[in-house]
Amino acid sequence: MTDVVMPQMGESIVEGTLTKWLKKAGDTVVLDEPLFEISTDKVDTEIPSPAAGVLSEVLVQEGQTIQVNAVVARIGDSAGASAPAAAAPAKSESAPPKEPDPVAEPVAVKSAPAPVAPAPAAPAPAAPAAAASATPAGPLSPLVRRMARENNLDLSRITGTGAGGRITKQDVEDFMKGNASASPAPVAPAASASAPAKPVGVAGAKTRIEPMTTMRQKIAEHMIMSQNTSAHVTTVHRVDMTKVAKMRAKHKDAFAERNGMSLTFLPFIARAATEALAQFPLFNASIDGTNIVYHNEINIGIAVALDGGLIVPVIKGADEKNVTGLQKSIVDLAGRARARQLKPDEIQGGTFSITNFGSFGSVFATPMINQPQVAILGVGTIEKVAAVVDDAIAIRSQCFLALTFDHRLIDGALADQFTGKVKAVLESWSEDIL
């Protein structure tokens, strides 16, 4: 029997939401076959099966938020699967009268038609009240504390389901849903009595309300966490990309013919960044309490825009690749990110990030640091402009590089030296790419 666990999808990720099962109990699965989909603030992707056999047990329902390394299912041997497979339907035939009840409760809470729910829901708060005297177990995350503060919640009334009894975001949301379903009880009859007076839908006539996707919610939480963790400061440098532009123009046709992909400006910038990171290792570090953790590998995360979200897959050993190798890695990771085929380790271990907002026409922006890193380099659009060169007007290809850094660890002077190094490498480009 093989346990299927919720994978670690990033250094700062402690939980994720199982959004969809791609197989059901009793199905035969093969090694690495997509088994289920999960959503976190860093990825919305498919998780492959860790073994071949039969999916004998499904322990987590779609829509549930669970802790990293929690067991979500079990896979039995295909050889011995006939007996459990036969037993499983027998259980499921007798189980339906029981199982739909717990599953139906959260659905009823989420659904708009709540008139049926108020009566049984009224005693729901009594369960947490029984635990009112208990002190919350385990450390509380900043997110849980903020949710409790903003909603005026008594955390001692919430039962934690996380590791060691820790209260999770899902626990808080479930508690609030339980209270919400109970509070409309006295209002529901009055509303039904006077329903013809004012239809509920009138208030929403000029608006449309829809819930955020799980990925969007997680991104929002991660961005707030980053803002509350690091002292963000951004420095912007203008860079003359003319030499890089000429090198790219010279080789782009041969590059495309040889590699089956376009040659962009991004691998040049990534290459320059690796040189700067080697010279200024503090930008390739992270903070652990009052300690500085220097990373011996240079692993660059490249921000990839998705429909309704963002993901940052990581190029491992980026300093060991030339422009061609970096371009291949960028195209491969971005393509598989959009196809939801990234593996967990491909979005972990980043030590520095680059975001190319210039691909959408932005001149420059102030990017957010991707925790637990201490800096991120933003690349503005590259465009031809009139510039003064040797006291004469010339047409040059230019862009702005925006470096956001954590002022807890990095000072402005060092940030400018780092960006200056990236600028110098790009403006004096001489390295051939083929």
Q: Which residues are catalytic?
A: 407, 411
Query: How far apart are the two ends of the chain, measured CA to CA in Å?
Result: 50
Instruction: State which amino acid sits at residue 35.
Output: L
DSSP 129-143: HHTTTSPPBSPPPHH
- Run of H or E residues at 274: helix 266-279
Q: Among 79, 33, 36, 74, which Cα is nearest to 55's?
A: 74
Q: Do the Cβ atoms of 377 and 390 come closer than 8 Å?
A: no
User: In angstroms, what is the C-alpha Rg of the chain?
Assistant: 27
Q: Which long-range contacts (CB under 8 A, 24 or more apart) does 43-48 make?
A: 43/9, 43/10, 43/215, 43/311, 43/342, 43/347, 44/19, 44/213, 44/214, 44/215, 44/306, 44/309, 44/311, 44/340, 45/9, 45/340, 45/341, 45/342, 46/22, 46/340, 46/341, 47/7, 47/344, 48/343
